[in-house]
C-alpha cells in the first residue's frame, strides 16, 4: 500500500510504501496534501459524549468515542482516569481495559495523589484525594494487564519520591501535575525519575510568588518535558509562547485533556461523579462554577492553535503531537517520525485556517473518518 503527500517534517513531496510498518519512502508527486505520523494524545478523559470515568460505559460507546477521536488524526491515545474513590477508579480502568482497540496505547491515571488545595486540585473531587499508595498502583496494573503508562501526581506527599522511583522502575512515566510542591520537592521528584509536567500552567493557585513557584521550577528544569492544552482557553498566548521557549519544542507536548463534551454539542455531561457543562463559547466547566473540567479540544485543532498562538511551524507543531509524546511514554515504533521500520500510523490532512483531516491509517489499515457529533442530544448526556 502507498500514500503520497508533503512530509509535514520537511515539506518534501513523498510517497510512503507500507504494510503494518513503513517499508520505503521515495520522492512523490506534487500535492497540497500533507502527510505525518498519526497524532498521539496522552490525556483523554472522554469524547463525543462518552465519559471514560464512568465504569458503566459500554464497549460500544468507548469504541465509538475512539472512532471519533481517530477522525481528528489521533491514532494512539491514553484514555485517562481521574481522581475518584478507589473502587470507582479501579472499575473504570478495568472497564477500559476490556476494550480491544489499537488506538489505546495504554492508560493515564491523573490523580488521586494530587494536591488537596483549591486551585492545584482543579476539578478533581477533594474527598477522593489521597496519598500515593503502591498497593493501589499494583491493583491498577493488575486490572489493566500492566498497561498503565503514565501517572500524574504531586510530589509534595511524604511518600511521593519512593512512589516515583517504584513506578519508573516498572517503565511507567511519572508526571508532576495538580501540585503545590515546593522547589525542593520538585527537584527530588525529578531526581527520582519524573520526566513530565502535566498541562503546565493549569491547575494552580490564582496567586503565586512572582519569582519562586512551582511553575517556574518546572519550566526551568531541563529534565522535564511539559504538556500544553492549546485551546485558547486554558492558556493565554503570551504564556504559551514563553513556556515553549523555556521548554523548547523538543520537550513540549500537545495534549487535549478532552472530556466527554469534546466533539459534542453544548450542554451538560458527566465527568466521573460530577456534572460538567460545555458552554456555547467552548469552555468545559464544573456545573455551577467557572472551574475548568477538561476541554472540548481536538488534536487537529490543537496543532492549528499552537501554530497561531505561539508562532511555531507546522513541523514543530506536528512534532509536539507525534514524536515527543511517543518518546515520553516509550511507545515503540512511533518515536522516529516518518522513517522506514516505524509503525504505519499515518494522518493525511490539508492546511489553511484549520487542519482538515482527509484520511487516517492505523498500522497500515484505513480508518473511517467520522464527522464530530453535532446532534443536540448526544449520548451519555447528564439528565
What residues are paired with 40 via a beta bridge?
Answer: 76
Residues 17-51 as b/e (b if ≥16 CB within 10 A, e otherwise) read ebebebeebeebeeeebbbbbbbbbbbbbbbbbbb
Q: What 3-state class would DSSP assign to 185? A: helix
Q: What is the pTM of this model?
A: 0.95
| pLDDT confidence of residue 270 | 84
Name which of 298, 312, 194, 292 is nearest 252 in CA terms: 312
Q: What angle do CA 193, 126, 380 make, to 5 degrees?
A: 95
E strand spans, the chain: 2-7, 13-18, 22-27, 34-37, 39-44, 46-47, 50-51, 74-82, 107-110, 148-153, 173-176, 196-197, 225-228, 252-254, 267-271, 274-278, 284-286, 346-350, 356-362, 365-367
Residues 302-333 as b/e (b if ≥16 CB within 10 A, e otherwise) read bbbbbbebbebebebbbbbbbbbbbbbbebeb
Between the two ends of the chain, the Cα-to-Cα distance in Å is 47
Main-chain dihedrals φ then ψ at residue 284, nearest 5 degrees: -110, 115
Distance (Å, rounded) from C-alpha 92 to C-alpha 86?
10
Q: What 3-state class would DSSP assign to 92? A: helix
| pLDDT confidence of residue 236 | 97
CB 260, CB 61: distance < 8 Å = no
What residues are paired with 228 via a beta bridge?
Answer: 254
CB 324, CB 227: distance < 8 Å = no
DSSP 308-360: HHH---HHHHHHHTTHHHHHHTT-TT-SSSS-TTSB--EEEEE-SSS-EEEEE
Pairing of strands 46-47, 365-367: unpaired
Q: Residue 370's CB: how many other CB atoms inside 10 A?
A: 15
Each residue of 290-302: pLDDT tens digit?
A: 889 999 999 999 9
Instruction: Please report the domains of the chain, with CATH numbers, ordered by start residue.
Output: 37-337 (3.20.20.140)
Distance (Å, rounded) from C-alpha 175 to C-alpha 198?
6
Q: From first to last of its 383 residues, what are the pLDDT tens digits of the chain?
A: 999 999 999 999 999 999 999 999 999 999 999 999 999 999 999 999 999 999 999 999 999 999 999 999 999 999 999 999 999 999 999 999 999 999 999 999 999 999 999 999 999 999 999 999 999 999 999 999 999 999 999 999 999 999 999 999 999 999 999 999 999 999 999 999 999 999 999 999 999 999 999 999 999 999 999 999 999 999 999 999 999 999 999 999 999 999 999 998 889 998 888 899 999 999 999 998 888 999 999 999 999 999 999 999 999 999 999 999 999 999 999 999 999 999 999 999 999 889 999 999 999 999 977 654 333 334 444 43
Report which secondary-structure segment, H or E, holds 303.
helix 299-310
| pLDDT confidence of residue 374 | 34
Q: What angle do CA 140, 256, 7 make, to 5 degrees?
A: 115
| pLDDT confidence of residue 370 | 61
Amino acid at each position: 500500500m502507498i500514500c503520497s503527500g508533503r512530509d509535514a517534517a520537511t515539506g518534501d513531496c513523498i510517497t510512503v510504501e507500507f504494510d503494518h510498518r513503513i517499508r520505503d519512502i521515495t520522492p512523490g508527486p506534487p500535492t497540497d496534501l500533507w502527510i505525518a505520523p498519526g497524532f498521539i494524545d496522552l490525556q483523554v478523559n472522554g469524547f463525543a459524549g462518552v465519559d471514560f470515568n464512568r465504569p458503566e460505559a459500554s464497549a460500544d460507546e468507548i469504541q465509538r468515542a475512539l472512532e471519533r477521536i481517530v477522525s481528528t488524526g489521533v491514532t494512539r491515545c491514553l484514555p485517562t482516569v481521574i481522581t475518584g474513590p478507589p473502587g470507582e477508579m479501579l472499575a473504570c480502568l478495568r472497564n477500559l481495559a476490556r476494550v480491544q482497540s489499537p488506538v489505546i496505547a495504554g492508560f493515564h491515571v491523573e490523580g488521586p495523589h494530587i494536591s488537596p488545595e483549591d486551585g492545584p486540585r482543579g476539578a478533581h473531587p477533594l474527598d477522593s484525594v489521597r496519598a500515593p499508595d503502591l498497593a493501589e498502583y499494583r491493583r491498577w496494573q493488575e486490572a489493566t494487564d500492566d498497561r498503565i503508562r503514565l501517572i500524574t501526581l504531586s510530589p509534595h506527599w511524604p511518600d511521593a519520591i519512593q512512589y516515583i522511583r517504584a513506578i519508573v522502575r516498572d517503565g511507567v512515566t511519572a508526571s508532576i501535575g495538580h501540585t503545590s510542591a515546593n522547589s525542593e520537592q520538585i527537584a527530588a521528584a525529578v531526581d527520582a525519575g519524573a520526566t513530565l509536567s502535566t498541562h503546565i500552567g493549569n491547575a494552580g493557585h490564582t496567586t503565586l510568588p512572582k519569582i519562586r513557584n512551582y511553575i517556574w521550577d518546572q519550566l526551568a528544569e531541563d529534565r522535564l518535558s511539559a504538556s500544553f492544552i492549546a485551546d485558547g482557553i486554558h492558556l493565554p498566548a503570551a504564556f504559551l509562547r514563553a513556556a515553549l521557549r523555556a521548554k523548547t519544542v523538543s520537550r513540549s507536548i500537545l495534549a487535549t485533556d478532552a472530556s466527554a463534551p469534546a466533539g459534542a454539542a453544548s450542554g451538560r455531561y458527566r465527568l466521573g461523579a460530577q456534572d460538567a457543562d460545555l458552554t456555547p463559547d467552548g469552555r468545559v466547566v464544573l456545573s455551577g462554577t467557572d472551574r475548568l473540567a477538561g476541554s472540548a479540544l481536538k488534536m487537529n485543532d490543537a496543532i492549528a492553535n499552537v501554530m497561531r498562538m505561539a508562532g511555531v511551524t507546522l513541523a514543530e507543531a506536528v512534532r509536539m503531537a507525534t514524536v515527543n509524546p511517543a518518546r515520553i511514554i516509550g511507545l515503540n515504533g512511533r518515536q522516529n517520525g516518518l522513517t522506514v521500520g516505524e509503525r504505519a500510523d499515518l494522518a493525511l490532512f490539508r492546511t489553511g485556517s484549520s487542519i482538515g483531516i482527509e484520511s487516517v491509517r492505523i498500522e497500515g489499515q484505513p480508518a473511517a473518518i467520522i464527522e464530530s457529533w453535532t446532534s443536540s442530544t448526544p449520548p451519555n448526556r447528564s439528565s
